[in-house]
Chains A and B, each alone.
Chain A
Amino acid sequence: MNNREYTIALAGNPNTGKSTLFNVLTGLRQHTGNWPGKTVVHAEGFFTYKDEQYRIIDLPGTYSLYSNSVDEEVARDFIIFAKPDVTLVVLDATALERNLNLALQVLEMTDRVIVCLNLMDEAKKKGIVIDIAKLSKKLGVPVVPLAARNKEGIEELLETIVRMVHGEIKTKPIVVSYSRAIEEKITKLLPLVKEIVGEEYPARWVALRLLDGDTSLLHALQHQPHHLLKGVPNYACHCSAKSI
């Protein structure tokens, strides 16, 4: 009997249906709406699938994880420090190009990623056809097509989650190649990063953030926010305060 509780993080651009997916998975009634910035604090919910417990955290919707604002930092810190067992990156299938930017950033941070291609029904209506298998191969992680508000694709997503938490899926995330100058600097920084920051953090990504002059990250690494590992008392929001 496995009593472990698995943690799932939900990341994505604003307005891609993250909260809708959150509600479908947890059966909760977090307020959803068609506009950006709905989720500013992350909400937490629980569900059981095939006798196993899952805790799911709806991170604030952001366009990047470069810590421009509080919500981006919240999302970034959770993925880096809480190390969720699976990070679901929810993408709007009707605006894939723009949405992929965030997915690529998440893939630099962790390899336990499932890409959820949401709003497939809308994409179909607009005549957008996406080669799922090819996309999955390109990104190096599973891609699951969804229409969360119609509850389509949820079963497949849950099955993929189960297989990922049990280590049955080998992922090989795409590595974004940067300009030669940047790649050279990364190579110079890597050994130092591994030595000082430690192996448990994605060294290439940390090096990139350092080159970008992201001091807030280094600060966070130095004073690891342990509360994130134990739970999310600072952010936990059981829907009452934010539902309007």
Chain B
Amino acid sequence: MRATVPPNPFDELMDYAKSLSDGDTREQIVSAIFQTSRDICKETITYTKREKLHETEKLDRIFTSKIWGFPIMLAMLAVVIYITIAGANVPSSLLAEFFGWFEGYITLAFEKMHAPEWLHGILVLGLYRGTTWVVSVMLPPMAIFFPIFALLENYGYLPRVAFNMDRLFKKSGAHGKQSLTMAMGFGCNAAAIMSTRIIESPRERMLAILTNNFVPCNGRWPTLILLASLFMAAGYTGGWKTLMTASVVVAMVVFGIVVTLTVSWVLSKTALRGMPTHYTLELPPYRRPKIWDTIVRSTLDKSIYVLKRAVTVAAPAGVLTWVLANIHIGDTTVLAHVAHLLDPFARQLGLDGYILMAFILGLPANEIVLPILLMGYLSTGALTEVDGLHSLKQIFLDHGWTWLTALNMMLFSLLHYPCGTTLINIYKETKSKKWTFVAFALPTGIAIAVTFTTAHIAQWLGLI
């Protein structure tokens, strides 16, 4: 029994421990643990192939070299995108043709059953067409891009990317680990927001959260790749065309990274001032992944996941868009009204009302922006028989698209507000409405500013 009961025994215990401890306790503890590990290893491990131990170091000297690190990174990205574009063309057209052929039979069946015109409209022209477009346009590039990306990831190349980027992030006042969370953002921004938990300092974590959106995620890769391949290499043919397209996409990614770094730098000088924390980034050894497993899993997991998200949102959106496009107020449809309303502002950004509307309706998921846009265009009465990438381009051209429209849409897609899921995650992680709003408003502001500038410079230079 103790004579006096302290107000809080826990506090007293802590105080007592504090009085015992001196400055380098942690160091002594850690070094004792390290020493024990070393002793155990000395007695239990034998190395039979000394020369094998340094393979990783040798490779790293190339992949993370100051001279070769960045060129190799960009070249890798270009090759991946090149393969994606070159490989996706044919299967995309085949799928589109197949769906078009099948649509004929469905229409026939509707006629046989004497189904009313509006039902055919909603189900076939809205739902079916919208969904099959998504599948044929998005599935092939995803089925090529994601497995290659996953292979690179599993070989251990991604941490090297992070390592190369690390120096740049530190220079911009951010945490080096932000390069890791950024790399994660290439997959999914919503997941990357959660991964910012690996950053200890709240200031640097906020930087990582606010700027994560500037790298394209799964939902935006297809948009970038598709628009680049349709519009950005018009003057070229064959292999050169694909190469040009790939370069444009790579340029987009680089631009996104530049924006990430710039915004981090500005924020760390203004609203989130502070010095970057020191840390060590560990590079894992290179490992040969189980190739077949990786391919199958990334195809199934990622492609199907993105597609499912796109289709489940695109299908109802298809119906909604069709309905909006067929309800008339006066002599124009609701859809045209909305698009018309947005049009003057959108024009300033080098876009049009339909594109802006697609981005707004696409807030829940970036995957559905392009499908919504297509449905919007198709519903304007121009019910062309769409049977491949060529006719896809025709739809865009019919609505007055130029390469500048495509460029601005790509820029807007790259820079605009994060998707709904990501915003929800940002709120969950920051527990702050204010910062969630900043995470929404900041990219949007930048997207508007950049597209506005691009559009006006191009017009001013007489490029269009």
Complex contact B29–A189 (CB within 8 A):
no
Residues of B within 8 A of A105 (CB): 33
Would you give the shortest CB distance from B11 to chain A, in whole angstroms? 8
Task: Given A178-B28, A182-B28, answer yes or no on A37-B290 (Cβ-Cβ < 8 Å).
Answer: no
Determine the chain A residues whose CB is within 8 A of the CB of B156 once the complex forms.
34-35
Q: How many angstroms between the C-alpha atoms of A110 and B283 in the bound complex? A: 30
- Chain A residue at minimal CB-CB distance from B21: A211
* Cβ-defined partner of A100 (8 Å) among B40, B49, B52: B40
Query: Is B167 on the interface with A (CB-CB < 8 A)?
Result: no
Residues of chain A within 8 A of B166, CB atoms compared: none
A200 at the interface (CB under 8 A from B): no
A151 vs chain B, min Cβ distance (A): 11
Shortest Cβ gap from A20 to chain B (Å) = 10
Which B residues touch A222, using CB under 8 A? 10
Q: Which of A138, A210, A244 is in CB contact (< 8 Å) with B44?
A: A138
Q: In the complex the two chains form, is A33's CB within 8 Å of B25's CB? A: no
List residues of B (408-435) whose CB comes within 8 Å of A's CBs: 425
CB atoms of B32 and A213 under 8 A apart: no
B301 located at the interface, meaning its Cβ lies under 8 Å from any Cβ of chain A in the complex: yes
Residue among A29, A208, A244 making CB contact with B187, cutoff 8 Å: A244
A129 touches B301 (CB 8 A): no
Contact A196 B32 (CB under 8 A): no
Cβ of A40: which chain B residues have Cβ within 8 Å of it?
A: 194-195, 197-198
Chain A residues within an 8 Å CB radius of B337? none
Contact present for A69 and B198 (CB under 8 Å): yes
Tell whether, in the assembled complex, residue A130 and residue B44 are in contact, meaning their CB atoms are under 8 Å apart. Answer: yes
A177 within 8 A of B: yes
* A138 with B47: CB separation less than 8 A: no
- Min CB distance, B213 to chain A, in Å? 15
* Contact pattern, A 90-127, Cβ under 8 Å of B = 1, otherwise 0: 00001111101100110000000000000100100111
Chain B residue, CB-CB nearest to A244: B187
Is A169 part of the binding interface, using a Cβ–Cβ cutoff of 8 Å? Answer: no
CA of A32 to CA of B287, assembled, Å: 13
* Chain A residues whose CB sits within 8 angstroms of the CB of B399 once the complex forms: none
Is A215 a contact partner of B14 (Cβ separation < 8 A)?
yes
Main secondary structure of the interface of B (DSSP, over half): helix
Pick the residue among A139, A178, A243 that contacts B301 (CB under 8 A): A243
Q: In this complex, what residue of B is CB-closest to A135?
A: B44
B159 touches A211 (CB 8 A): no
In the complex formed, the residue of A with least CB distance to B14 is: A218
Q: Within the complex, which residue of A94, A135, A218 is in contact with B10, where a contact is CB–CB below 8 Å?
A: A218
The answer, yes or no, to whether B237 is at the interface (CB within 8 Å) is no
With contacts A69-B198, A101-B33, A127-B48 known, is A94 near B13, CB below 8 A? no
Q: How large is the interface on B (under 10, 10 to 19, 20 to 34, 35 or more residues)?
A: 35 or more
Asked if residues B10 and A221 are in contact (CB atoms below 8 Å), the reply is yes
Q: Contacts of A182 on B, CB cut-off 8 Å?
A: 25, 28-29, 32
Cα(A244)–Cα(B97), bound, Å: 30
Complex contact B29–A34 (CB within 8 A)? no
- Cβ of B117 under 8 Å from chain A: no
Q: Are B191 and A212 in contact (CB under 8 A)?
A: no
Q: Which residues of chain A from 192 to 244 have any CB-CB distance to chain B below 8 Å in the complex?
A: 192-193, 195-197, 207-208, 210-213, 215, 218, 221-222, 241-244
**CB atoms of B284 and A34 under 8 A apart:** yes
Contact between B191 and A241, CB atoms less than 8 A apart: yes
Contacting residues, chain B, for A29 (C-beta < 8 A): 297, 301
B158's partner among A33, A98, A188 (CB-CB below 8 A) is A33
The residue that A244 contacts in the complex, of B40, B188, B289, with Cβ under 8 A, is: B188
Q: Is A166 an interface residue (CB 8 A)?
A: no
CA–CA, A149 to B293, complex, Å? 10
Asked if A1 lies at the interface with its beta carbon under 8 angstroms from chain B, I say: no
CB distance from A60 to the nearest CB of B (A): 8
Kindly provide the distance from the CB of A125 to the nearest chain B CB, expressed in whole angstroms.
Answer: 7
Ranked nearest first, the 7 interchain pairs of A and B with the lowest CB-CB distance are A127-B49, A244-B187, A210-B17, A127-B48, A100-B37, A244-B188, A69-B200
Sample of 19 further A-B pairs with CB below 8 A, known A127-B49, A135-B44, A207-B17: A14-B282, A33-B150, A35-B162, A94-B285, A95-B285, A100-B37, A104-B37, A122-B285, A127-B47, A131-B46, A179-B28, A189-B13, A211-B17, A212-B25, A212-B29, A213-B18, A213-B21, A222-B10, A243-B301
User: Can you list 26 A-B pairs with a CB-CB distance of less than 8 A?
Assistant: A14-B282, A15-B282, A31-B301, A33-B150, A34-B287, A35-B156, A36-B180, A37-B195, A40-B194, A41-B197, A63-B282, A100-B40, A122-B285, A126-B53, A129-B46, A138-B44, A178-B29, A178-B32, A188-B20, A196-B13, A210-B14, A210-B17, A241-B190, A242-B191, A243-B301, A243-B302
* Residues of chain A having any CB pair with chain B under 8 Å: 14-15, 29, 31-37, 40-41, 60, 63-64, 66, 68-71, 94-98, 100-101, 104-105, 119, 122, 125-131, 134-135, 138-139, 149-150, 174, 176-179, 181-182, 185, 188-189, 192-193, 195-197, 207-208, 210-213, 215, 218, 221-222, 241-244
Chain B residues at the A interface, C-beta cutoff of 8 Å: 9-10, 13-14, 16-18, 20-21, 25-26, 28-30, 32-34, 36-38, 40-41, 43-50, 52-53, 55, 150, 153-156, 158-159, 162, 177, 180, 183-184, 187-188, 190-192, 194-195, 197-200, 218, 282, 284-285, 287, 289-290, 293, 297, 301-302, 305, 425
